[in-house]
Structure 1
């Protein structure tokens, strides 16, 4: 009987080397555990609950916090908010609002220094180029209209305006008188092209919708769409002005939003140097730095 008991124990328990292998090499190594060392894996809910544990953030003294960058401060505020919303203690919530108050004061300080910087460096201030007073804005608008009209009239013999339409297009009947007004004001030749009668023009000029208004350079393949659909007369004149300047090489694509009379000013994207890697000044290896242009 004793021999049978010893034999049974020998069958149930592994030998010395096997027993050493039964010690798990790692928590995720199931093969090293053996049958009798099997553990039920954690459920997804338990794993998520453990991963979502919110720890109390360390808030440094104010003198240290003042040296932090805004992204780092914003991260700390988010962490403190999550912690405070989890524990819901008075002190944790108060710490969150202390951090918010610090961020508010820092933002107000930045706004104050910004005003001083704008007064010290007026070339960075839009007010010099875009006055908010009504009378000044009216005078500025009249000046821009005059610059635009003189430029477009000077190029009237070089460019033409073409509007593509269809007989069934109701919007085309609204846009055509606006295009004709452009002819009267700027002295340009304008043409109306009916795509129902000339369907080949659709593919030739890439017209997808009607009405489509396009600036075409005479004796050249250069052309540019300036309106797709109904456009007001002031916008049509401004787009034609920009298109002619771009096709003539007077501006670069980066200056498309530079209006009449705004060259080398606040609203000129290239006034203080190149902003694009394709700018010839960058490609040529001799970029113009804004600081070098100051007296």
Structure 2
């Protein structure tokens, strides 16, 4: 009788048919999956490997492909590349390179139309603002130097140049004559701060690397590092020019790469209106420029 009862109890337990294993009873005394739960057997390794087979992409005729947008074309090329690398047939690889050839010809066509667009609208062409011919290039460089020099000398009493150095710093001995040359040409006051003698200055101004050259605006807390390490004189003058203009509010951060004499031109990021949401000229989500609001 006891053996019969034990056999009946085993038959009443919930069973995982797939693995022929009893399912442990849940809190209510029954299996959490129910009495007659059936779990689909897991796929074999061979079946899982079959899922990795890449289908052959459908390549449309070139007349239709020409109407596709570049992202769609790039996706098709990627699919054909993966398919060709999987099957490694001559035709599949050839189809991949046919697509690549189509993309190459499309890019060359775009470049050709771009040259025509630059000739039609010269204000979009960098060459109109930056001539490459020797004499014109020299004249433009001299003009930029003059604009930069006039600005720096006009504000010489408003700013000072400070170089932080150490006695053990060999590069500082190279940078200091360059800073002195800037003083001679621009009329700015320059100072040499020795961090070995006054280490508190390094903590006060956040200087760890020597030489470090900094523009300081007098009678204010404004300052800006313009060189960390040895910097050439032309670069030092250009960085001081940009720093002074930024600290005075003559330019915005977006115009940091706008050099002397390039204001309101091709290389001025804000010449045709604001380009960022933080620009005060962005009013109510509309871009405002000389032509008025634009949708």
Please classify the TM superposition score into its range, dividing by the shorter chain length: 0.7 to 0.9
Find the counterpart in structure 1 of residue 259 from structure 2: 259
Matched, 1:231 2:231: yes
* Gap change, CA 1:180 and 1:47, over 3 Å in 2: farther
Query: In structure 1, what is the Cα distance between the partners aligned to 2:133 and 2:116?
Result: 21
Superposition TM-score, scaled by structure 1 size: 0.83
Cα root mean square deviation, aligned: 3.0
Q: Is the 8 A contact 1:245 1:251 kept in 2?
A: yes
Q: Give the CA deviation at 1:272.
A: 1.1
Greater Cα offset, 134-143 or 161-170:
134-143
Superposition TM-score, scaled by structure 2 size: 0.83
SS at match of 2:231: coil
Query: In structure 1, what is the Cα distance between the partners aligned to 2:35 and 2:95?
Result: 48
Greater Cα offset, 175-184 or 98-107:
98-107
Query: In structure 2, what is the Cα distance between the partners aligned to 1:90 and 1:171?
Result: 61
Q: Is the 8 A contact 1:277 1:283 kept in 2?
A: no
Matched, 1:42 2:66: no
Alignment of 1:126-137 (within 5 A): 126-137=126-137
Q: Is the 8 A contact 2:17 2:39 kept in 1?
A: no
Query: In structure 1, what is the Cα distance between the partners aligned to 2:216 and 2:104?
Result: 54
Find the counterpart in structure 1 of residue 24 from structure 2: none
* Gap change, CA 1:32 and 1:86, over 3 Å in 2: farther
**Unpaired runs of at least 5, structure 2:** 1-7, 19-32
CA distances 1:106-148 after superposition (whole Å, capped 9, x unpaired): 1111111111111111111110111122222222111111111
Find the counterpart in structure 1 of residue 179 from structure 2: 179
Q: Give the CA deviation at 1:91.
A: 2.6
* Gap change, CA 1:160 and 1:166, over 3 Å in 2: same
Find the counterpart in structure 2 of residue 98 from structure 1: 98
Q: Give the CA deviation at 1:163.
A: 0.7
Greater percentage in strand: 2
Matched, 1:157 2:157: yes
SS at match of 1:192: strand
Matched, 1:88 2:88: yes
Query: In structure 1, what is the Cα distance between the partners aligned to 2:39 and 2:236?
Result: 78
Matched, 1:192 2:208: no
Find the counterpart in structure 2 of residue 142 from structure 1: 142
* Gap change, CA 1:173 and 1:47, over 3 Å in 2: farther
Aligned length: 273
Find the counterpart in structure 1 of residue 76 from structure 2: 76
Find the counterpart in structure 1 of residue 201 from structure 2: 201
Greater Cα offset, 152-161 or 48-57:
48-57
CA distances 1:184-228 after superposition (whole Å, capped 9, x unpaired): 000111111111222221121111111111111111111111111
* Gap change, CA 1:136 and 1:199, over 3 Å in 2: same
Q: Is the 8 A contact 1:167 1:196 kept in 2?
A: yes
**Unpaired runs of at least 5, structure 1:** 1-10, 24-30
